[in-house]
Chains A and B, each alone.
Chain A
Amino acid sequence: MRKRSKYSYCSESLRKDSGLERYEWNMNTKVNIAGIEWKNPVTTASGTFGSGLEYSEFVDLNQIGAVTTKGVSSIPWTGNSTPRIAETYGGMLNAVGLQNPGVDVFVKRDIPFLKQYDTRIIVNICGKTTKDYCDVVEGLADCDVDMLEINISCPNVKEGGIAFGQNCCQVEAITKEVKKYAGQPVIMKLSPNVTDITEIAKAAEAGGADAISLINTLTGMKIDIHKRKFVLANKTGGLSGPAIKPIAVRMVNQVAGAVKLPIIGMGGIMTGEDALEFIMAGATAVAVGTANFIKPTATMEVIQEIENYMKKYKIEDIRELIGCVDRV
């Protein structure tokens, strides 16, 4: 018979009904990213949570470390034609195309909404040109938000987006420009659709980024064999969900070994166990994305399951777990 290692456990044991939440264990779940303290290491992945309004009917936003908003641009964007989504095995493709109401409406409506809650606000920013990004960053400089996340990795828009994120010189240049106007710490959100993610991360660091988030979606495609057509109107879309998690964990680990910046890890996180993989790979915080569509309460469950893990293994401080495995 195989000997049980002291780390073996039934995966169900971290779930809510395990009874673990009923016993007291003093622990710290606070993390600090670029000088901003979060009450726990869990945020939302941009584009999966709107600005929190719709999900506030399911989730107590006060309990989440930070809310990362859907991408906002200098002027309203209409986005792509429909169909914009397609389910794939253990994942989904989206090609929403960064539809958003523009920064003016966002500042007037969405920021005041989020300010009602005791959570950090991270504004995700998209643009077609460097000037577009800088206009939004400048417009937000005096706003009461905590961090900015720069989306240089969206695969679903023709200009901007990923075009900035696949070339080291461009990544460094746009990071430098954005930093000139930023009133808050800047997180550069990286694309996995590159040959060497560490080179891109180093370029963001060289440009003065305060943190890095990864991964954005992987470019994918689905064909309807009955209609002999692409399923998505945009033909290609970004793959997300549990199907991409191992790639994301690997990339977080690689980037953690390549740069000194704090990392927000994401890509297919469905449970606290998934989140812990990212944290152990080297992420200081994690973002829950596609899981919100499947379990609207996913963020809160992930937080609870991380705490349950800490109780189970008598971890006093979440920071003990950050990057606790080697680097590849």
Chain B
Amino acid sequence: MVKIHKKTAVITSQVQLTEDIYSMWIRDGETAAGAKPGQFLSLYCKSESRLLPRPVSICEIDKEKGTLRLVYRVVGGGTEEFSHYNTGDTIEVLGPLGNGFHAEGSRAILIGGGIGIPPMLELAKQLDCGKRIVLGYRDITFLDKEFEKYGKVSISTEDGSSGTKGNVIDAIKANLLEGDIIYACGPIPMLRGVKAFAMEHGIKAQLSMEERMACGIGACLACVCKSGKKDPHTNVNNKRICKDGPVFYAEEVEI
């Protein structure tokens, strides 16, 4: 009856990618075995003053080694704490949680914005179809070289320091990218732009959403997003991002 529980994972490496972005590999065979691209883990702080788990998306999965890669931005005390962990330290994790992306179509456009970029890496690795990858940054780029193994990468930066100046949609237009399925993760304004672009061109889109979470398993109703239709579970026009998502079809969510 009791199916999942918190695990103690071992950190197998931790490196700093940019001023505030870190890449950490953790090992827990069972957690890695069940993981899919687009899912996330709840990470627990050691400090008892920081109660709530931090939801962090899965960047890469190595089922053979039983490891998972988490690339996260330091945004507060909790992620700051994670950034100080060293190889051999342990971390309490719960997951994999949420639904993840699912493969469809034959010509995919993968779009990642900011800290929404990491989950697209495992997806890029696993998708067995034609794919173009679009990565949007404010200025400093990260992970972009790693994506090149899996498809042609187009970059946008807000300050124009790399790739197209502007946002991911500007990069898509500048590079005349076409596809029959869009996968995207990033900040809400970006997802709003992706949804509009997808609707305009009649392309299906799977969007990975983000919100402040508490339980991470669908009970507390903290991390909801507006849905177009009444949700069968909540019986109102709200979907639970942690449980029903984080990946939704563009038409399912009002953003």
| Complexed CA–CA distance, A78 and B226 (Å) | 10
B2 contact set on A, CB distance < 8 A: 57-60
Nearest CB in chain B: distance from A109 CB, A = 9
Tell me whether B225 and A92 are in contact (CB under 8 A): no
| Complexed CA–CA distance, A166 and B214 (Å) | 28
| Complexed CA–CA distance, A292 and B214 (Å) | 10
Nearest CB in chain B: distance from A63 CB, A = 10
Tell me whether A99 and B221 are in contact (CB under 8 A): yes
B6 contact set on A, CB distance < 8 A: 295-297
A55 contact set on B, CB distance < 8 A: 217, 219
Tell me whether A294 and B237 are in contact (CB under 8 A): no
Chain B binding surface SS class: loop
Task: Decide yes or no whether B222 CB sits under 8 A from chain A.
Answer: yes
B225 contact set on A, CB distance < 8 A: 82
Tell me whether B220 and A96 are in contact (CB under 8 A): yes
Task: Decide yes or no whether A12 CB sits under 8 A from chain B.
Answer: no
A53 contact set on B, CB distance < 8 A: 219
Task: Decide yes or no whether B223 CB sits under 8 A from chain A.
Answer: yes
Tell me whether B214 and A94 are in contact (CB under 8 A): yes
Chain A binding surface SS class: loop
Task: Decide yes or no whether A257 CB sits under 8 A from chain B.
Answer: no
Query: How big is the B interface, by class?
Result: 35 or more
Nearest CB in chain A: distance from B176 CB, A = 36
B217 contact set on A, CB distance < 8 A: 54-55, 57-58, 296
B243 contact set on A, CB distance < 8 A: 54
| Complexed CA–CA distance, A87 and B216 (Å) | 14
Nearest CB in chain A: distance from B78 CB, A = 8
Tell me whether A84 and B218 are in contact (CB under 8 A): no
Tell me whether B220 and A293 are in contact (CB under 8 A): yes
| Complexed CA–CA distance, A84 and B53 (Å) | 15
Tell me whether B212 and A89 are in contact (CB under 8 A): no
Of A48, A54, A293, A296, the residue contacting B51 (CB under 8 A) is A293
| Complexed CA–CA distance, A242 and B52 (Å) | 12
Q: A82-B212, A92-B214, A99-B238 are in contact. Are A47 and B220 (CB under 8 A)?
A: yes
| Complexed CA–CA distance, A290 and B236 (Å) | 24
Q: A54-B215, A294-B51 are in contact. Are A99 and B224 (CB under 8 A)?
A: yes
Of B44, B49, B215, the residue contacting A292 (CB under 8 A) is B215
Nearest CB in chain A: distance from B231 CB, A = 9
Task: Decide yes or no whether A50 CB sits under 8 A from chain B.
Answer: yes
Nearest CB in chain A: distance from B56 CB, A = 15
Task: Decide yes or no whether A220 CB sits under 8 A from chain B.
Answer: no
Q: A82-B223, A84-B222 are in contact. Are A56 and B1 (CB under 8 A)?
A: yes
Tell me whether B211 and A82 are in contact (CB under 8 A): yes
| Complexed CA–CA distance, A242 and B94 (Å) | 21
| Complexed CA–CA distance, A86 and B213 (Å) | 9
Task: Decide yes or no whether B201 CB sits under 8 A from chain A.
Answer: no
A292 contact set on B, CB distance < 8 A: 215, 219
Of B52, B218, B234, the residue contacting A101 (CB under 8 A) is B234
A91 contact set on B, CB distance < 8 A: 51
| Complexed CA–CA distance, A92 and B3 (Å) | 27
| Complexed CA–CA distance, A79 and B238 (Å) | 9
Task: Decide yes or no whether A278 CB sits under 8 A from chain B.
Answer: no
Tell me whether B219 and A76 are in contact (CB under 8 A): no
Task: Decide yes or no whether A49 CB sits under 8 A from chain B.
Answer: yes
Tell me whether B234 and A241 are in contact (CB under 8 A): no
| Complexed CA–CA distance, A59 and B3 (Å) | 9
- Among B50, B78, B212, the one with the most A-chain Cβ atoms within 10 Å of its Cβ is B212
Task: Decide yes or no whether A139 CB sits under 8 A from chain B.
Answer: no
A230 contact set on B, CB distance < 8 A: none
Q: List 13 A-B contacts (CB under 8 A).
A: A47-B220, A48-B215, A54-B215, A54-B218, A54-B243, A55-B217, A70-B221, A82-B222, A84-B223, A94-B222, A242-B48, A293-B52, A296-B94
Residues of A within 8 A of B (CB): 47-50, 53-60, 70, 76-79, 82-87, 89-92, 94, 96, 99, 101-102, 105, 241-242, 290, 292-297
In the A-B complex, the 4 residue pairs with the closest CB atoms: A101-B235, A50-B219, A54-B219, A85-B222
Residues of B within 8 A of A (CB): 1-6, 44, 48-53, 78, 94, 211-225, 233-238, 243
16 more A-B residue pairs beyond the given contacts A79-B224, A242-B48, with a C-beta to C-beta distance below 8 A: A47-B220, A54-B218, A57-B2, A57-B3, A57-B4, A58-B5, A58-B217, A60-B2, A78-B237, A83-B211, A85-B220, A90-B48, A92-B51, A101-B236, A294-B52, A297-B6
